[in-house]
Amino acid sequence: MFVTVFLLLVALCAHGGNGEDSEETQRPGHVSVIIVGGTGDLAKKYLWQGFFQLYINQVSSGNTFSFYGGGLSPGEKATPVFFEILKAVSCTKDVSQERCALLKEQFLRLSQYRQLKTLEDYQDLAKDIEKQLQQEGMTEAGRLFYLSVPAFAYADIAEKINSSCRPTSGAWLRVVLEKPFGHDYRSAQVLASQLGSALKDEEMYRIDHYLGKQVVSKILPFRTENRKYLDPIWNRHHIERVEIVLKETLDVKGRIPFYDQYGVIRDVLQNHLTEVMTLLTMKLPANVSNSEEVLQNKLQIFSSLLPLGKNQAVIGQYQTYKSEVQQELNKTKDHVTLTPTFAAVLAHINEAQYEGVPILLISGKMLDERVGYARILFKNDVFCLQNHNNVHCKAKQIIFYFGHGSLQYPAVLVSKNLFKPAVTGSEWKEVTEHKDVSVLGLPISDYYVQTPAEEKEAYSELISHIFAGRKNSFISTENLLASWGMWTSLLSSLTSSFPRIYPGGAENGDMLDVRLRGKDISYNSEVVIISPDKMGDASANSFKVMQGKFRSADMVSAWTEELVETLAADMQEVAEAAIHEGGVFHLAVSGGSTPLALFHRLAVHHFTFPWRNTHVWMVDERCVPLTEPESNFYSVHENLLKHVKIPYYNIHPMPVQLNQRLCVEDDGGVLLYEKELSRLVNGSSFHFVLLGVGYDGHTASLFPGVKADQHGQSLVALTESPSKPHQRMSLTFNAINRAHKVVLLVMGKGKHELVTQLSRVKDALDKYPVTGVKPANGSLVWYIDYDALIG
Ligand SMILES: *[C@@H]1O[C@H](CO)[C@@H](O)[C@H](O)[C@H]1NC(C)=O
Ligand SMILES: *[C@@H]1O[C@H](CO)[C@@H](O)[C@H](O)[C@H]1NC(C)=O
Ligand SMILES: *[C@@H]1O[C@H](CO)[C@@H](O)[C@H](O)[C@H]1NC(C)=O
Ligand SMILES: *[C@@H]1O[C@H](CO)[C@@H](O)[C@H](O)[C@H]1NC(C)=O
Ligand SMILES: *[C@@H]1O[C@H](CO)[C@@H](O)[C@H](O)[C@H]1NC(C)=O
C-alpha cells in the first residue's frame, strides 16, 4: 500500500508542477512547520487548511515538509483531537477526488502532535528535527513557527525558539504572530522590544488577515495598473471623500472577556481599516513587490496624519452589550462598561494631495448588514438639468468590495462614468453578467466589475506569502508602532466618553448616521427620542423624552444621552434666567461618575453657556488633596472647568486641606466655606444644586444614619462615609433645601433596584438620606435614565 501511494505521488508530481511562488529564490530543502496552539480554534478553522493548501502547492517544488501541532496538553490526550482536526482539511475544486485523498493521507503522515510547554520540549523538538534531517540526508530550507496562542505568551515562546529552535545555518526562521499586538502605543512597544530581543524583525510575520483578502491585496496593483486614469484624479480636487467600512451583524457574546478590554477601535480600526487606509492613500511605490519601499511610503502617510481627538470620533454600544458583559464577566447589575462596539472616525492627511479630503473609518457590531468595503467617492462637477439618470449625473466612485453585502463576492467596481479599468494577468477577470443588485447607490450595471478568477481564503493566501517570504502582506514593527501612534491619543481621550446606545440590527435606523463638519464628526441626529411604550421593541424614530412624577416630584426620563442633553439645556435655561435677573448664576455640583456625561456635554456642546457669570460650588468633597484624582473637585476640574472659559475666582473648591492637614475641625474649613457661601450667594440659596444618589441611598455626603437636625442651621459639615476615604465635607440639608432648584440625577441599570425602592418608601432620612431633599421654596426634579428607571 505504502509503495503504491509513493509511486503515485511521484507520478503526480512529475505532471503537477507549474512552479507557483517561483518568484522567490530560496534554496529548496526540508521545511518544518510548527503551529503552537495547533489544536486551538484558529488552527482548526483556518490554519491547517492553509498549510494543507501550501503543501499541495509545494508538492512538486523540491521542498519536503514536516508539520507539528504544538500545545500544552500531553500527547496522549491531544493527539486524537489533533488528527480529528487534520482530517477535516479539503482540496480546492481543481484537485480530483483521488489525488486529494492521496495528498491528504500523505499530509497526515507528515504531521504529528507535540507537547510544547517547557524549554526541554522545545529543545527536544529541535533535536528531533535535526535527527530527521541527518537520517534522511536532507538540507534544511527553514522553520516556520505559527504562534496561535494568546499574546501574553509570545515573548516567552519567542525566547524559547531563539534559545533552542533556530535552524541550521543557511536556513530561514519565520515566526508568525496574530493580533492583538498590544492595546496602546506603550504596550505595543514593550511587546515589540521583548520580541525584538529574541527575533530579528525580518523573522517576524505579524498577521493582519485583512491583508490576505484578495481585494485588499489588489489595491496597490489596481492603482498601479490604472495609473494613467487615476493620477489626474487621485487628489483633493477630485476626491470628495474616502470611506472604509466594515459592518457586522453579530454581537460579541462569548468573546467578552477579550472584547471588553479592546472595543471596536482596537479590534478593527487600529489594524484592518488603518491598513486599508494606508494602501489607498500612500504614494505608489515604483515596485509594488518591494516591501521596504511599500513600508516607507506607508510610514509617510502615518506621519502626515492630523492628530485624532475627541471631535474626530463618535462611538456607540449596542443595547444588550452591558448585560452580556455583566453576565460573562460575572459582574453585578451596577457594572457599567463604556467599551464601544461601534465607532466612526474621521481622519485627514496633511499633504497637499489630500488636504481637506475626509477619510472615514467605520465599523460596528450588531449593524443592519454584514459588508466590508472601501469607497473612493469623487466629486461630480456635472449639473444635469433634466435627465438625472444620465450616466454623467450619477455618483462617480471606485469601490474595493471585500465581500458579503448585496454583491456577495469580492470585487473592484468602477463606475462607468469614470473609466474602464485594465484587467491584467489571469488572477482577475471581468464580470459582465450579474444578478440585478445595487451597490452603494448604483445598479451594478453602472459599474465595470472585476473579481478574482478564483476566490481564495485570506489565511491560505497569507500562509503562501509567509512561505514565499513576501513581507508586504505583514505588519512590521515600525508600521505597528506608527499605527498605535495614530490611535493611542484618541483612545485615551475616549476613556470616559459615553457611547450612544443603539438597539441593534435594522432598528438602528438613522441613529448611527454621522455628519462631517470641517474636521469634526458628530452623530447626525443630536437627540434620539424614544417613547417609553415602544421601548420593548424600540423603533428608533418614535423615541421620546418622557415627563412624569417620581416621589411626587417632577421627573424627566430618557435614554442616557438624551437625558444628559435635556438636563444640560435645562441647566442653561436656569442659568440664563438667573443672570438676567441678578447678573450671576450659582451652581453647586457633585462629584462621582454620574455627572461626568453631563460635564462632557456642557464642555463640548454648550458653547453659549454663560460661564463668565457662573459660580461653581461643590456639593461635597472627599478629604484628600484637591490634586488627587479621587478628589471631587479634581474630577469636576478635569472634566468640565478646564474646558470652559470660567473666571478662576468664580470657582469654589471646598477647603478640605488647611495647614497641610485634611479636614481637621480646628482648622475651620467648614466655617470658611460657609462664610464664603453666605457672602456671595444671595440668601445662601443656590440657583441650581446637582445631586446624585449612591447605592445606599446617600446624597451629597450625607450617609445613612444622618439625623434631620444633626447639622442645625449650618450650611456645611464634616461627615463620615462608610467607604474610603471616610472623611468628607458636605453641604447640609439646610443648604440644599434652600436652593431654587435641586436636580437629582440617577443613571445606569445598576441604580434600577434603588429607584424601585425609592419609588415605594416613605421619607426615611436615616435610611435613605436622599428622601431628605425637599427644597423649602424651590423645586426638585428627578432626571432618571431609562436604564435606571426600567432596568
Ligand atoms: C537570541 O539568543 C542569543 C543567545 O542565545 C542572543 O545572543 C541573541 O541576541 C538573541 N536574539 C536574536 C535576535 O538573535
Ligand atoms: C521588485 O521588487 C522585488 C522584491 O524586492 C524584486 O524581486 C524585483 O526584481 C523588483 N522588480 C523590479 C522591476 O525592480
Ligand atoms: C460570580 O460572582 C459571585 C459573587 O461575586 C461569586 O460568588 C461566584 O462564585 C462567581 N461565579 C463565577 C462563575 O465566577
Ligand atoms: C436676593 O433675594 C431676595 C429674596 O429672594 C430678592 O428679593 C433680592 O432681590 C435678591 N437680591 C439680589 C441682588 O438678587
Ligand atoms: C421660604 O420662603 C419664605 C417666604 O418667602 C421665607 O420666609 C423662608 O425663609 C424661605 N425658606 C428658605 C429655606 O429659604
Cα(363)–Cα(354) distance, rounded to whole angstroms?
23
Span from the CA of 732 to the centroid of ligand 4 (angstroms) = 22
What 3-state class would DSSP assign to 78? helix
Cα(474)–Cα(212) distance, rounded to whole angstroms?
9
H/E stretch holding 177 reads strand 172-178
If you write DSSP's letter for every residue of 657-712 in order, what string do you get? EETTEES-GGG-HHHHHHHHHHHHSGGG--SEEEEE--TTS-BTTB-TT--TTTTT
582 lines ligand 4 (CB under 6 A): yes
Mean pLDDT of all residues in 586-604: 90
Which atom of ligand 5 has the smallest separation from the CA of 685? Answer: 14
Q: Is the pLDDT of residue 523 over 60?
A: yes
* pLDDT number for residue 25: 53
Choice among 30, 183, 209, 272 that is catalytic = 272
Which atom of ligand 5 has the smallest separation from the CA of 683? Answer: 14
The grid cell for 659 is 495647614
Mean pLDDT of all residues in 758-777: 90
CATH label, 554-790, candidates 3.40.120.10, 1.10.1060.10, 3.40.50.620, 3.40.50.1360: 3.40.50.1360
Mean pLDDT of all residues in 361-365: 98
Q: Is the pLDDT of residue 433 over 90?
A: no
Active site residue 600: no
Cα(498)–Cα(482) distance, rounded to whole angstroms?
27
* pLDDT number for residue 174: 97
H/E stretch holding 784 reads strand 779-785
86 contact partners, CB below 8 Å, separation of at least 6: 48, 69, 107, 108, 111
Residue 627 CA neighbour count, 13 Å, CB half: 0
Fold classification of 2-178 (topology level)? Rossmann fold (3.40.50)
How does the average pLDDT of the chain come out, rounded?
Answer: 89
Tell the residue nearest (CA) to atom 5 of ligand 2: 290
- Ramachandran class of 452: left when φ > 0, alpha when ψ lies in -120 to 50, beta otherwise: beta
What 3-state class would DSSP assign to 70? strand
Our mutation pick for probing the ligand 4 site, out of 682, 686, 777, counting the most ligand atoms within 8 A of Cβ, is 682
Give per-residue pLDDT as tens, 675-713: 999 999 999 999 999 999 998 899 999 999 998 888 989
Mean pLDDT of all residues in 748-769: 86
Query: pTM for the complete prediction?
Result: 0.67
Q: Which numeric CATH code is attached to 211-455+476-517?
A: 3.30.360.10
Type of residue numbered 416: K
Mean pLDDT of all residues in 86-91: 92
Mean pLDDT of all residues in 57-78: 92
> Is there a common fold for 2-178 and 554-790?
yes
Give per-residue pLDDT as tens, 6-43: 333 333 333 333 333 333 456 789 999 999 999 999 99
What 3-state class would DSSP assign to 546? strand
Our mutation pick for probing the ligand 2 site, out of 284, 290, 292, counting the most ligand atoms within 8 A of Cβ, is 290
Cα(385)–Cα(791) distance, rounded to whole angstroms?
55
The grid cell for 719 is 461627615
Give per-residue pLDDT as tens, 524-580: 875 443 333 434 433 333 345 677 778 888 889 888 888 999 999 999 999 999 999
Give per-residue pLDDT as tens, 403-429: 899 898 999 999 999 999 998 888 999
777 lines ligand 4 (CB under 6 A): no
Query: Shortest CA distance to 314 belongs to which of 292, 335, 343?
Result: 343
**Domain boundaries, given as residue ranges, for the chain:** 2-178, 211-455+476-517, 554-790
Which atom of ligand 5 has the smallest separation from the CA of 775? Answer: 13
683 lines ligand 4 (CB under 6 A): yes
Span from the CA of 326 to the centroid of ligand 3 (angstroms) = 11
Q: Is the pLDDT of residue 466 over 60?
A: yes
Q: Is the pLDDT of residue 430 over 60?
A: yes
Q: What angle do CA 375, 380, 386 make, to 5 degrees?
A: 125
Span from the CA of 491 to the centroid of ligand 1 (angstroms) = 35
Span from the CA of 470 to the centroid of ligand 2 (angstroms) = 11
The grid cell for 368 is 443592519
Per-position b or e across 192-212, b if 16+ CB within 10 A of its CB: beebeebbeeebbbbbbbbbb
Q: Is the dihedral of CA 418, 420, 426, 431 positive or negative?
A: positive
163 lines ligand 1 (CB under 6 A): yes
582 contact partners, CB below 8 Å, separation of at least 6: 682
Query: Shortest CA distance to 128 belongs to which of 117, 139, 114?
Result: 114
Instruction: Give the long-range contacts of residues 304-309, CB within 8 A, separation 24 or more.
Output: 304/349, 304/350, 304/351, 305/347, 305/348, 305/349, 305/350, 305/486, 306/347, 306/348, 306/349, 306/350, 306/519, 307/489, 308/345, 308/347, 308/486, 308/487, 308/489, 308/490, 309/489, 309/490, 309/493
* pLDDT number for residue 108: 96
The grid cell for 660 is 497641610
